[in-house]
Structure 1
């Protein structure tokens, strides 16, 4: 079973302006000396879902 590499923080639960999708240090998204590990999510639609799926697949590869 793969290790947990991503978490989602719901904006409403935490009283924030937007939700965040955050990747753990075990995610394989390294790209040089700097890379994103957290993404703001302001809406959910098919395009966002596919972007998230691509990120999760990359993080697990």
Structure 2
């Protein structure tokens, strides 16, 4: 009986893992801002516009967060190197929307349940205001 091998990871997921491997090898030698901006420059127009605006929002509302890449995606980390928030381009995994998420290092706890990621198709001024408040809260 012949068995076929089923792919466990998509090409995009394998690429993200390779990106993470490169990021770990760079370690403290990495230029986080340059790496983040290079990844943003590779994105399609819609994703790039969102990522550029998010980068500006994070710099303005969480200036202590350090830009970096995380699995090949734009991310912002605290001084301990823990990723607080990140952006996933729609084009990265062929999704219908991009997303902006928060990791465990974000100080967003609100009772027993709270949102940690947001789907984004475009950013309106009201959306930016909401995200700015969340970024401020995340860095505590």
Q: In the alignment, what sits opposite 2:109?
A: 30
Which structure's residues are more often helix, by fraction?
2
Alpha-carbon offset, residue 13 of structure 1: 2.2
Q: Is 1:7 aligned to residue 86 of structure 2?
A: yes
- Larger-gyration structure (1/2): 2
**43-52 vs 15-24, which moves further:** 43-52
TM-score (norm 1): 0.85
Structure 2: unaligned runs, 5 residues or longer: 1-63, 66-77
Partner of 2:122: 43
Q: Aligned partners of 2:86 and 2:139: how far apart in 1?
A: 13
Number of aligned residue pairs: 61
Q: Shift in Å at residue 45 of structure 1?
A: 2.2
Q: Which has the higher contact order (CA 8 A, sep 6+)?
A: 1
